[in-house]
Amino acid sequence: MCGRFTQDYTWEEVFDFYNLTGPALNLRPSYNVAPTQTVHMLGRSEQGLTLGEARWGLIPAWWKKPLKDLPSTFNARAETAAEKPMFRAAFKQRRCVIPSGGFYEWKRSGSEKQPYFIYRADGTPLSFAGLWERWDDPESGKPLLNCTILTIDANDYMRQIHTRMPVVLERDGVDAWLASADAGLLVPCNDNVLTSHPVKRAVGNVRNNSPDLRERADVEA
């Protein structure tokens, strides 16, 4: 699964990497993004790739109950998303990509859990395959864009930390995923794509949001 990640790039960095269209955005970095918070997501328009905002946690258009009754939808299993009622319409018609500087995962060691920061070894942004929806709030009547990150069984590298991982697309896979619901893209990335290091447990508190959360921490072997 992926329950915390960073979006800590500048507009220039993300603009150049994805060859975006549209006006510049004032991007505020976040070093500890948590479910239900607002995130940046990439979509395709007639002009090209664009960057917008959405709530992290998918709400299908047909959902009529209060949001407090919504199950956890910040992740969707890539193996079953095309069939699950919560995700299948978005899988067919509304795919997106969530850019990230890296994500956090917790490795269990006995009764303890050690958080790790996982990021691309080449230093470029991670591109998570995702789905998006538009939900009309029945109370306010206002539309709310929302999204989820697709996850897959971990590759050999990630399996040292956790059994699941986000679907990480290569740059050419970004365009392919937005163009077609190709299940062939929903596979673990190669083992050499990612690297990681342990970080302080402060990342477990969503109220903590500073660059030092990503820094290497000394941990006992």
17 within some domain: yes
Tell whether 104 is covered by a domain.
yes
Q: Provide the token pair at 141.
A: 């009547």
Q: Is the pLDDT of residue 140 over 90?
A: no
Q: In the structure, what pLDDT confidence band is assigned to residue 132 with cuts at 50, 70 and 90? A: very high
Tens of pLDDT, residues 175-193: 999 999 999 999 999 999 9
d(CA 212, CA 199): 9
* 138 — pLDDT class (breaks 50, 70, 90): confident
Q: Are 146 and 58 in contact (CB under 8 A)?
A: yes
Residue 220 lies in a domain: no
Tokens of residue 81, six digits: 């998303």
Question: Is residue 91 a contact partner of residue 131, using CB atoms and an 8 Å limit?
Answer: yes
pLDDT at 118: 98
| CATH assignment of the domain containing 11 | 3.90.1680.10
| Contact present, 76 and 119 (Cβ < 8 Å) | no
Report which DSSP code applies to 23: -
Confidence of residue 22 (pLDDT cuts 50, 70, 90): confident
Please indicate, yes or no, if residue 149 is contained in any of the structural domains. yes
Cα 65 → chain centroid: 25
Got the DSSP string for 60-74?
-TT--S-GGGPPP-S
| Confidence at residue 151, expressed as pLDDT on a 0 to 100 scale | 98
Copy the structure tokens of residue 27.
Answer: 């991007």
38-47, 62-71, 145-154: which is most confident: 145-154
Predicted confidence (pLDDT) at residue 219 exceeds the cutoff of 80: no
Residue 128's H or E segment, with its range, is strand 126-136
Inside any domain, residue 219: no
The strand pairing partners of 54, in sequence order, are 39
Q: What is the dihedral of CA 101, 25, 15, 123, to 10 degrees?
A: -20
Catalytic residues: 2, 105
**Percentage of the chain modeled with pLDDT above 90:** 86
Q: Which of 89, 81, 85 is nearest to 129 (CA)?
A: 81
Residue 28 in any domain: the answer is yes
Residue 218 has a pLDDT of 85
The predicted model scores a pTM of 0.96
Domain that holds residue 124: 4-214
The pLDDT value recorded for residue 221 is: 43
Strand 75-77 relative to strand 143-153, pairing: parallel
Q: Is the pLDDT of residue 110 over 90?
A: no
How does strand 38-45 pair with strand 164-166? unpaired
Residue 141 has pLDDT above 90, yes or no: no
Percent of the chain at pLDDT above 70? 99
Residue-level pLDDT at 124: 96
Structural domains in the chain (count):
1
Does residue 220 carry a pLDDT above 60? no
Q: Establish if 114 belongs to a structural domain.
A: yes
> Is the model more confident about 152 or about 109?
152
**Residue 4 per-residue DSSP state:** E
